[in-house]
Structure 1
Amino acid sequence: MTSYLGRSAAAVSVLERLALVCGIRVVEFNPVTMNICQDSPCFAGFDPAAVIAGADLGLLIDIDVPFIPQMLKPADRLRWIQIDIDALKADIPMWGFATDLRIQGDSAVILRQVLEIVVARGGDAHLRKVRDRIASWHPAREAAQARRMAAAARKGSLGAIDAAYLFSRLQVLLSEDDIVLNEAVRNAPVLQQQLRRTKPMTYVGLAGGGLGFSGGMALGLKLANPSRRVVQIVGDGAYHFAAPDSVYAVSQQYGLPIFSVILDNKGWQAVKASVQRVYPDGIAQQTDSFLSRLSADHQGEQRRLVDIACAFGAHGERVDDPDDLDAAITRCLAALETGRAAVLHVDITPL
């Protein structure tokens, strides 16, 4: 059984218990919030393709896009049960995910009711079967952990810091209570693998379109959680959309210090990937002309993105050497303690 959970933060604890009692593998595809502790033995990562082949039943729980149909044809052959506050997706012109059973309601309430029934009816034989099933997933989890560690060990080079290494260092230096706001776009899967969250409400993503949302969202999260650190992780392309001058002006005026990490790959990686997906053998691919670069590498060209924040009193740094990351992150976190916003501009592997 495979389960996906989208928006319902209230269902986190009951989903974790239900997964352990029923032997459900939970996949979070493009999550908006963290819905299960990533240390849970039932957490199966962020790629539904990894578990669809062996699933006999799937649950779609409060989610708009559980997978990309074009890239996951085996999902069409699976039986699906949908639990959603909006089971008809009334505001979406076309919702093309076929389900065998649709249940409309509060997923936290419904999952709790299912849990109570399973606990009441399940006996020792059922629990032994579930324990054996969960234990059988251990090799896959170990293999995934080995892949994460191998990726985190690749630092990259001067001017081309590996994104996985950057996220792994943030994992070490941030606390488990810090709120991570993910607008890394094409590097989002790498972030999710390396920057692991174990507490509810410590991860926020984007439900749909809206590049540049993370600047204003970071301010809102800080306003709602004044005692916690908010870490905005954003690509250089999305950073342009976020109206950063307004973000840091508001941050200064209202005392809302946030920590922004800009991933600079010098372009729109999502634009390039979309062209490659539709025209894999096209002229753009043949000539490496995707019109997706934000840097032309002209003589004297400058990309001083942190200066926008510094103009409004923020602390700003740029890092192009992986060995300098830890010290720079530490200084930025220290700036937050003084009430100043902090911006770290990181040169990652170029587009």
Structure 2
Amino acid sequence: MYTTSSAFLEVLIEQGVTYVFANLGSDHPALVEAIAEARALGRAIPEIITCPNEMVGMSAAHGYWQASGVAQAVVVHVECGTQALAGAMHNAAKGRAPMLIFAGASPYTQNGELKGSRNEFIQWIQDVHDQRGLVRGYVKYDNELRTGANASEIINRAFQFAYSDPKGPVYLMGAREVMEEAAPEVATDRSKWTPVAPAALTQEAVATLGHALMAAQRPLIVTSYLGRNPEAVEALAAFCDVTGAGVLESVPTWQNFPHSNLLYLGNQWNDPHQNEALALADLVLVIDSDVPWIPVHSRPAPGATIFHIDIDPLKAQMPLFHIDADGSFQADAALALRQLTAWLAGNQIGEYQLSDRKAGWKCLHDKRLQRLAILEAEPAEGTITPEYVVACLRTLSDEDMLFVNEGISKYPTVFNHLALDRPGSIFTSGGGSLGYNGGAAIGVKLAQPDKTVVALTGDGSFMFSVPSSVHWMARRYEAPFLQIVFNNRGWKSPKLSTLAVHPDGYASRAESLDVSFDPPPDYAGIAMASGGAFGLKVTEPSEIKAAIAEGLRVVREEKRAAVLDIWLAHL
């Protein structure tokens, strides 16, 4: 029988879904039956990826979208599985990652009135008042399938929300009786369910911004996630070439601008000092950034003109946000940049003015490279530095590598010393819930199986990632990747946060801040036991290059994951 569950699977195929990252439970008999029936009859359905942990499964869907641009599906078990998604749900919401999450629900009949009626004790316990409310603050759309008659329409509507900017996850649920119900076979015409078209700047806005750019002496672009669209990276490079604007990344979550470009001025995070480029700029154009600067540390110069272009300029999900912009515009970055570039073509900036701008920013660009070169030199005293590790990785990297960055306190180190130019070559969660990197690496590898995937993670993030599930899945679904663990034996970020607020307090003199992992787990051993991974502990700088080379060889030739447990100075 063609059921609501059959319709669910069919819409996924019609929406281009390749994988369902699933953690199945007692609420899914109809879905399990529909999957088995489709396989028996040769009906196309997405591949089912068994995910022993929900966080890993949703992180894999997140990574798959980042590497492909195609939203995937996640299936979890009632409200328990929904709650287990918590960290990954936060990351997908803050990282604006589209995906469909489907959870079953406890049956709503208890005496056998309908097929799927309650027949296990757990179904009374797992029946809660507002299951959808658990995620409502994090999803773009939530709904319940109440009948098979319009299930296809509801599912397609969910995808339309997910793909419309600002993109994000959507959540559907359905009780067992509904998923067992007969449903009409309705083919999806995807042309009728397209996302909302990207917005452009008005002519007035283009003129306002254009005139301001003409008058500026030191225009600066600040961005964080413009690179989610590779075309926007190209548009930004073209725009900067005709304007002489410098580019500063603030808490970047994507590859936003080529690091080799002489107008690239680096990336800022929690640095407790004034950014030089931000202080020099007399016009700051913020494009697609959630945190363009941290006012207590760094901000534009007094009197600087500030404009803001964003797919989400009001930051609707942030209770507190304001940057004193002189003009704020909701627009797609690629479209807006092309509009401004075209306007400036007819109102050319003077040759001397343009060369002066570029020369000024090039000076800062070159100074930055000199500082980085000093940091990444091979350590002389036997203590491995993260800068040296990433520099060694860079020398062994090629155009076929994709990177997943969850270095936390090492976030800037990874971006700075990989020094990437390619759009779509590095990904972060975009959120603040740790544990994204392992599942995301699997998703990236599934999306681009011919690429070599490298995940860089702190030791705390490694444990948050549920490595036993990650490495089991990597082996089961032939998605090997190299995982580099920055092991400083603890959570460094809470220590840094505390000392930033209490530099001379009791914590600064305490022997322990309760954030250490001494003695540390055997990270490589966990991966070896869970998924047959290659594992290696590295404690000497002289071992780094050979260890990375061997890890890459294992991933590429033996097709199994590799974990390098690299010991840094103690936190």
Normalising by structure 2, report the TM-score: 0.58
Q: Which is further off, 146-155 or 221-230?
A: 146-155
Distance verdict in 2 for CA 1:20–1:209, change over 3 Å? same
Describe the SS at the equivalent of 2:456. strand
Note if contact 1:265-1:350 (Cα within 8 Å) is conserved in structure 2. yes
Whether 1:345 and 2:565 are equivalent positions in the alignment is: yes
Distance 2:539 2:381 in 1: 8
Whether 1:325 and 2:544 are equivalent positions in the alignment is: yes
- Kindly state the Cα deviation for residue 74 of structure 1 after the two structures are TM-superposed: 4.5
Describe the SS at the equivalent of 1:143. helix
Describe the SS at the equivalent of 2:285. strand
Whether 1:314 and 2:533 are equivalent positions in the alignment is: yes
Give the structure 2 partner of residue 132 of structure 1.
356
Whether 1:233 and 2:436 are equivalent positions in the alignment is: no
> What letter is aligned with 1:69?
P
Describe the SS at the equivalent of 1:70. coil
- Kindly state the Cα deviation for residue 230 of structure 1 after the two structures are TM-superposed: 1.0
Alignment counterpart, residue 197 of structure 1, candidates 401, 413, 420: 420
Give the structure 1 partner of residue 264 of structure 2.
43
Distance 1:138 1:59 in 2: 19
Alignment counterpart, residue 117 of structure 1, candidates 339, 343, 346: 343
- Kindly state the Cα deviation for residue 191 of structure 1 after the two structures are TM-superposed: 1.9
Give the structure 2 partner of residue 104 of structure 1.
330
Distance 1:206 1:97 in 2: 24
Q: After superposition, what is the alpha-carbon deviation per residue over 1:219-259, rounded to whole angstroms, capped at 9, x for unaligned?
A: 11111111111110000011110001111111111110111
Give the structure 1 partner of residue 56 of structure 2.
none
Distance verdict in 2 for CA 1:136–1:73, change over 3 Å? closer
Describe the SS at the equivalent of 2:329. strand
Distance verdict in 2 for CA 1:85–1:137, change over 3 Å? closer
Give the structure 2 partner of residue 23 of structure 1.
244
Give the structure 1 partner of residue 494 of structure 2.
271
Describe the SS at the equivalent of 2:312. coil
Distance 2:463 2:527 in 1: 12
Describe the SS at the equivalent of 2:308. strand
Distance 2:538 2:437 in 1: 21
Question: Aligned ranges for residues 212-223 of structure 1 at < 5 Å?
Answer: 212-223=435-446
> What letter is aligned with 1:93?
P
Distance 2:295 2:361 in 1: 25
- Kindly state the Cα deviation for residue 277 of structure 1 after the two structures are TM-superposed: 1.1
Note if contact 1:29-1:67 (Cα within 8 Å) is conserved in structure 2. yes
Distance 2:299 2:238 in 1: 30
Note if contact 2:481-2:555 (Cα within 8 Å) is conserved in structure 1. yes
Instruction: Tell me the C-alpha RMSD between the 2 structures.
Output: 1.6
Aligned length: 343
Question: Aligned ranges for residues 291-306 of structure 1 at < 5 Å?
Answer: 291-295=514-518, 301=519, 303-306=521-524
CA radius of gyration, larger in:
2
Note if contact 1:177-1:202 (Cα within 8 Å) is conserved in structure 2. no
Distance 1:303 1:243 in 2: 13
> What letter is aligned with 2:243?
C
Note if contact 2:378-2:541 (Cα within 8 Å) is conserved in structure 1. no
Distance 2:487 2:348 in 1: 52
Note if contact 2:275-2:299 (Cα within 8 Å) is conserved in structure 1. no
> What letter is aligned with 1:117?
W
Question: Aligned ranges for residues 275-294 of structure 1 at < 5 Å?
Answer: 275-294=498-517
Distance verdict in 2 for CA 1:74–1:122, change over 3 Å? closer
Q: After superposition, what is the alpha-carbon deviation per residue over 1:161-202, rounded to whole angstroms, capped at 9, x for unaligned?
A: 111111110110111441111111111222222111011111
Describe the SS at the equivalent of 1:44. strand
Distance 2:296 2:303 in 1: 14
Distance 2:300 2:514 in 1: 34
Describe the SS at the equivalent of 2:376. helix
Distance verdict in 2 for CA 1:74–1:113, change over 3 Å? closer
Question: Aligned ranges for residues 169-188 of structure 1 at < 5 Å?
Answer: 169-188=392-411
Q: After superposition, what is the alpha-carbon deviation per residue over 1:40-86, rounded to whole angstroms, capped at 9, x for unaligned?
A: 11101113712112111111111111111111155565321111111
Distance verdict in 2 for CA 1:83–1:165, change over 3 Å? same
> What letter is aligned with 2:538?
V
Distance 2:539 2:322 in 1: 44
Describe the SS at the equivalent of 1:318. strand
Distance 1:137 1:88 in 2: 30
Distance 1:76 1:205 in 2: 32
Describe the SS at the equivalent of 1:267. coil
Distance 1:200 1:339 in 2: 26
- Kindly state the Cα deviation for residue 111 of structure 1 after the two structures are TM-superposed: 0.8
Identity of matched residues, %: 31
Q: After superposition, what is the alpha-carbon deviation per residue over 1:105-163, rounded to whole angstroms, capped at 9, x for unaligned?
A: 2111011100111112216xx234212321233333222222111111142544x3111
Note if contact 1:306-1:318 (Cα within 8 Å) is conserved in structure 2. yes
Distance 2:301 2:498 in 1: 25
Give the structure 2 partner of residue 68 of structure 1.
294
Gaps of 5+ in 1: 296-300
> What letter is aligned with 2:306?
W
> What letter is aligned with 1:100?
D
Normalising by structure 1, report the TM-score: 0.93
